[in-house]
Each structure stands twice: as structure tokens, then as C-alpha cells.
């Protein structure tokens, strides 16, 4: 199941949710393993001084027809600051909760997180790689230019699952199945 496109670097100034999500829970016997149900996506940004900002979106029925929840938390970005970041994928529809991020990392050669950010002024660079030195994207840095325009923006997080499609290190969009596609919102401070 394929959704929106993304790119591994984003230029924009914000992260907060404007929900546009879907989760894929179909099983696959391809080398990438099962496509998992993802019911929560969490973004965490840490400033150089250690201040942490966390936002998340829930999708209570996974890949069901109900729209995801509103974003919980806000992201406010300072100009001229480079943040370290991480994304976390979970299936909270089961007990105990399953950390899908662990599975994504274990199957790194079959996954990649793509990010798209609007507007311009922010650069996202993935910092983790698969075993073939291709971007994975569960961790990243987010540099906000000193000249970035203040205001609202969005960050799309798309988890791509490569079953039969080839994972290309220089790809700027998903050529495989979309496991989850969530839109967050954020603000660049004055």
C-alpha cells in the first residue's frame, strides 16, 4: 500500500501534527518480513542544552477506517539551532505494547524513513544506516537556519517497507510499501 512521497532531508521550519495517517497491517512473506500495525508515531527532538520536545499521533484502529488522533504536544524550533532527533513506531493495540522501531532497525535493509518538511529553512539529515550503508532514518539531526522564516510548517514521516522493491540509497521517495504516513506540525520561533 503506497501513500505520499518524502525525502531524507527537509527544508522547513516546523513540526506539529496536521494528521494524515494510515497504517498498514498486511502480512508479507517477502524477505522484509511482516508489515506491522503501527498505532502510534512519536517524534523526539533534543536541543544542544538537553531540552527535549516530544510529540505523537495515535491511530486507535491501526489500518482501520477511523482517522488518527490530533497531535499530542507541540514542537517549537529555535533558529540557528541543530537538534538531534528520533522517531518511534509502536503497536499500542496489543498488550504488551510492541516497539516496532526495534523491528525496523533489525530489518534495516528492508526499511527507510522518509521525511518531507515545509516551508524552507530546516535541513534534516538521517544519522543511522543499514548494513549496506544506505540511510535508515530512525535517528536524524535537524538544523534550523538562522535565517529561517518564523511561522508554522509541517513534517511528514513516512516509513517505507521494501518487500519486492529494491532499496536504493539515493532514493528521495518510497518505492516500496508504505507502513505509516503521518503529518506533524511545528513552529519556528521568532
What would the pLDDT profile of 37-91 be if each residue is shown by its tens digit? 899 999 999 999 999 999 999 988 766 678 889 999 999 999 999 999 999 999 9
Q: Is 6 contained in some domain?
A: no
According to DSSP, the residues that pair with 142 across neighbouring strands are 83, 124
> For the domain that residue 56 is a member of, what is the CATH number?
2.70.50
Cell 511545528 sits on residue: 186
Q: Is 11 contained in some domain?
A: no
Quote the mean pLDDT of the chain: 82
Q: Is 88 contained in some domain?
A: yes
The radius of gyration of the chain's CA atoms, rounded to the nearest angstrom, is 16
pTM for this entry: 0.81
Mean pLDDT, range 92-98, rounded to an integer: 94
Q: Is 109 contained in some domain?
A: yes
In total, how many domains does the chain have? 1
Q: Is 4 contained in some domain?
A: no
pLDDT grade for 104, boundaries at 50, 70 and 90: very high
pLDDT digits (tens, 9 = 90+) for 136-167: 999 999 999 999 999 998 899 999 999 889 99
- CA gap 90, 110 in Å, rounded: 18
Question: What range defines the domain where residue 121 resides?
Answer: 16-188
Q: Is 82 contained in some domain?
A: yes
Q: Is 3 contained in some domain?
A: no
- CA gap 7, 154 in Å, rounded: 13
> In the chain, what are the helix, strand and coil shares in percent, each to the nearest 5?
5, 40, 55
Q: Is 63 contained in some domain?
A: yes
pLDDT score at 17? 30
Amino acid at each position: 500500500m503506497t501513500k505520499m512521497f518524502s525525502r531524507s532531508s527537509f527544508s522547513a521550519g516546523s513540526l506539529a501534527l496536521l494528521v494524515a495517517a494510515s497504517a498498514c497491517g498486511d502480512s508479507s512473506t517477502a524477505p522484509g518480513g511482516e508489515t506491522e500495525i503501527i498505532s502510534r508515531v512519536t517524534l523526539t527532538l533534543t536541543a544542544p542544552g538537553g531540552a527535549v520536545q516530544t510529540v505523537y499521533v495515535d491511530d486507535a484502529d491501526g489500518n482501520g477506517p477511523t482517522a488518527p488522533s490530533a497531535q499530542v504536544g507541540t514542537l517549537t524550533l529555535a533558529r540557528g539551532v541543530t537538534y538531534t532527533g528520533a522517531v518511534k513506531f509502536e503497536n499500542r493495540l496489543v498488550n504488551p505494547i510492541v516497539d516496532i522501531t526495534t523491528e525496523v532497525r533489525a530489518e534495516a535493509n528492508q526499511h527507510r524513513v522518509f521525511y518531507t518538511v515545509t516551508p524552507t529553512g530546516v535541513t534534516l539529515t538521517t544519522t543511522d544506516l543499514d548494513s549496506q550503508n544506505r540511510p535508515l532514518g530512525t535517528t536524524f539531526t535537524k538544523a534550523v537556519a538562522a535565517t529561517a522564516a518564523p511561522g508554522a510548517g509541517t513534517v511528514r514521516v513516512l516509513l517505507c517497507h521494501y518487500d519486492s522493491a529494491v532499496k536504493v540509497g539515493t532514493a528521495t521517495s518510497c518505492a516500496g510499501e508504505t507502513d505509516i504516513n503521518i503529518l506533524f506540525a511545528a513552529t519556528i520561533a521568532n
